[in-house]
Structure 1
Amino acid sequence: MSKITELREKQQKLVADARALLADIKDDTPEARVSELESQHDTAMAEYDRLEARIKREEALEARERDLNAADDRRPTGENRSVQGGRQENVDEARAAAFRSYLRHGLEDMPAEERKVVREMRAQAVGTDSKGGYLVPEGFMAELVKSLKAWGPMLDPGVTRVLTTTAGNSIPWPTMDDTSNEGALIGENTQVSETEVAFGTKTLEAYKYTSGVVLVSAELLQDSAIDVEGTVRSAMAERIGRIGNRHLTVGDGSAKPNGIVTAATAVTGVAAAAALTFDDMIELFHAVDPAYRDDPSVRFMFNDGTLKSLRKIKDTVTGNYIWQPADVRTGAPATILDKPYSINQAMAAIGASNKSVAFGAFNRYVVRMVREFAIRRLVERYANYDQTGFIGFTRLDGELLDAGAVKVLQHAAS
């Protein structure tokens, strides 16, 4: 039995135990006992989430091991031992090595050859010649993108549609709404009537984001055992990931991305001010056109507190819970109404006038990211603390290109 399978089976038992606790709650159960049972249920589900995190780590480790064991196309192949990697691979490796040296030592203390490589990676800030910092190498950028999605699903290319561009110019994007039109049956020699297709345009910009200053002590920079590149990258990914995910979720579109919650049509007059029911979720589910509900990217999105409430809701007729755990046998993820979901802490909690749940085909929301990610190294500014500062800059935007693809559930005002 694999480790992941073992953990999944433990999760299944936790779910069964938790639901047994809820089943003990009857109409005449004293309030104190109800609170006790619900607390035990929440404790069991917290353990379920802890195991889920372990499973994710195990899956990531297995994927990494597969990558390491895969054939390296830079190695000599067959009997021809002279076959080596291409020039681009050598250039990429040189840039990566020079950039690591830049992070740890700065330009002044770098070998002349490495200093030349880093200066060739200079970023050009808008309107200036040499104040844009230095562009990170491809490997750094690839790992940064992986880290960004950990801080919010809106930056996850497995959830939204992520468009990476080399430059930051505005991108007009055509949209079309033809949902109200259909073909027609006509007779012989009958003129075809004209039906107008509603075309529109939305523009993807490139709003500039910064990580703020990441301070690293001189001791860490001097310690060769410390992965300075990884430390700086992780800190920047967390900071940019949090604000980026929040703006892509609830941004108002004014000098920032138009968040998916802001752009989507709200389903109103259904959910109470401070509650969420099975029927509310059914209403939201059917507010989205069936064609979108069958899209591979379809999912629910809500915060962790809302998930906690949804786990306790069941159909009073059939006794089936709205939330179903991951399937041990097939590896299918946990679902709501048989659809996957993403936890997004930028989503509002259940409450008066709040938009607490989104549902639909999330790949109709396009996240535009500029490939260039620049880092500046600050020495003198923090010299009296014996620290070095690093600032990261990137540009991104987001827009829902089809308003019918995603709907949000909005609670009553009171």
Structure 2
Amino acid sequence: MVTIEALREKIANLATQANHLLAEKGDQVWTKDDQKKFDNLTDEIASTKGQVRNIEKMRELEADQYFKENGPTNKAEPGVTVDALVAVALYMRNGTNVTAEQAVAIRNAMSTTTPAEGGYTVPAEIATMVIERLKAFGGMREVATIISTTGGNPLNYPTSDGTGEVGEIVGENAPATGGDVTFGTVGLPVFKYSSKKIALPLELIQDSAIDVIALVVNRLAMRIARIQNTHFTIGPGTTAPDGVITRAGIGKIGSTGQTVTITYDDTIDLKHAVNRAYRASAAYMMNDLSVATVSKLKDTTNRPIWTPAITASAPDLLNGHPVAINDDVPVMAANAKSIAFGDFSQYTIRDVAGSTVLRRFDDSAFALNGQVGFCGWQRSGGNLLEPAAVKVYQNSAT
């Protein structure tokens, strides 16, 4: 069976070949054979990356994670102090069906809270696990600035775009003229996210060989991560966070006929639509489906402008800038804002500390089917604090 490690080695080897071809040709005009060879390499890289993603998705769906040797067990001896993770596992496996001593341990590790349906605020170890899993899905948490606040009260950030401001020359003993700075504010509200309830077989939850914490946390956090990334990307504001694509201005509109395409010149125009002050740390962002189109673009010498990454941890490059893959960015279509460019660290994600809540459900809706229900909650928000820092490419309407 092919392994992810073997596939990543294959990607690195293919990327090395593609980069070698780029370096070998230099500024020479590419022939059709050169282009075909390069396109075949990038197509195989994309296909292999798809294999990696498919394997990772299957791993998420399998409950094959086991406790490490000497790790948490299903029960604790009465009167024995247990750590936070063991207490959480006890709660997940048994709910309220525990000894008095175990119930005390659970209450000590997981403080009670009052969300819409009650539950426990999880200990710091579990909250950290959730945040790490949130980073693994979507793309926005990989490039945005993330802050944590102690509460969810309204928060407004002061903003000021000084990229158009200039100084002056004054004569000797002459006064300086006024140049007032215009300030604005950007709201950074938080929203209460739910994973929705999930149902898991009772036998699976009670199996001591299963890492019940990882199983439940992975499933709940994955759902919250996906909806958050959608909102951080294309959220409408007011009823959800403002998305980066929603807030960013239009930097380039495709010419008539470019409903599902983009040209090399368009990528350059989009880049230069962003002020130089924001380009030092800028990147492109697009849907993975758009990569197949963009990775085949050529410059004026017919040289590819896409540079495949050699290592799995490094990003691909477009016009020398990193490419962030975010599948919540719209795919290319009529009027679609399909590619963004800019400094995505200007998008700030706000997490409320201590807001990660977990509840187990044992009511008849689950019990009659031999199941246990779980639901998770977390409070977060996000906004692009400086809209001038990011611009988008919009495909033609016709």
Q: TM-score range by the shorter chain?
A: 0.7 to 0.9
For structure 1, the residue ranges without an aligned partner over 5 or more in a row are 27-33, 57-90
Q: 1:268 to 1:219 in 2, by over 3 A?
A: same
Correspondences of 1:41-120 after superposition (within 5 Å)? 43-49=43-49, 94-107=83-96, 109-120=97-108
- Over 3 Å counting, the alpha-carbon distance change for 1:52 and 1:106 in structure 2 is closer
Say if 1:356 and 1:410, in contact at 8 Å, map to a contact too.
Answer: yes
Q: Give distance in 1, aligned partners of 2:31 and 2:286.
A: 23
Partner of 1:373: 356
Question: Is the Cα contact below 8 Å between 2:14 and 2:41 reproduced in 1?
Answer: no
Q: Which fold has the larger relative contact order, with Cα–Cα distance below 8 Å and residues 6 or more apart in sequence? A: 2
User: 1:151 is aligned with what amino acid?
Assistant: F
Task: State whether residues 267 and 284 of structure 1, in contact with CA within 8 Å, keep that contact through their aligned partners in structure 2.
Answer: yes
The match for 2:147 among 163, 166, 178 is 163
Q: Deviations over 1:9-39 (max 9, x none)?
A: 2432377799x9993499xxxxxxx9xx999
Please say if residues 241 and 383 of structure 2, whose CA atoms lie closer than 8 Å, have aligned partners that are also in contact: yes
Taking a change above 3 Å as real, the CA distance of residues 43 and 270 of structure 1, as seen in their structure-2 partners, is: closer
Amino acid at match of 1:111: T
Aligned residue for 2:321, secondary structure, equals coil
For residues 14 and 191 of structure 1, do their structure 2 counterparts lie closer, same or farther at Cα, with a shift above 3 Å needed? closer
Alpha carbons 2:119, 2:359 under 8 Å: kept: yes
Q: Distance in 2 between matches of 1:39 and 1:286?
A: 27
Task: Give the unaligned 5+ runs of structure 2.
Answer: 57-80
Mean alpha-carbon deviation: is it higher for 182-191 or for 201-210?
A: 182-191
Q: 1:172 to 1:132 in 2, by over 3 A?
A: farther
Distance 1:166 1:114, change over 3 A: farther
What is the RMSD of the two structures over their aligned residues, measured on CA atoms? 3.3
Structure 1 residue 52, shift from structure 2 partner: 7.1
In the alignment, what sits opposite 1:13? Answer: 17
In 2, Cα distance between the equivalents of 1:46 and 1:249? 23
**CA deviation string 1:228-279 (max 9, x = no partner):** 1111111112211111100110011021000000000012444522211111
Helix, strand or coil for the counterpart of 2:200?
Answer: strand
Given that 1:169 and 1:205 are in contact with CA atoms closer than 8 Å, whether structure 2 keeps it comes out as yes
1:306-325 Cα deviation digits (max 9, x unpaired): 0011111111x323212101
> 1:273, 1:146 → 2: CA distance?
37
Q: TM-score, normalised by structure 1?
A: 0.78
Distance 1:387 1:304, change over 3 A: same
1:402 aligns with 386
Contact 1:164 1:369 in 2 (8 A): yes
Describe the SS at the equivalent of 1:394.
Answer: strand
The percentage of counterpart residues that share the same residue type is 33
Q: 1:218 and 1:48, CA in 2 relative to 1: closer, same or farther beyond 3 A?
A: closer
Aligned residues: 360
State the shift of 1:332 in Å: 5.1
Helix, strand or coil: the match of 1:197? Answer: coil
The normalised TM-score by structure 2 is 0.81
Alpha carbons 2:204, 2:210 under 8 Å: kept = yes
For 1:13, the aligned partner's letter is Q
SS of the residue aligned with 1:151?
A: coil
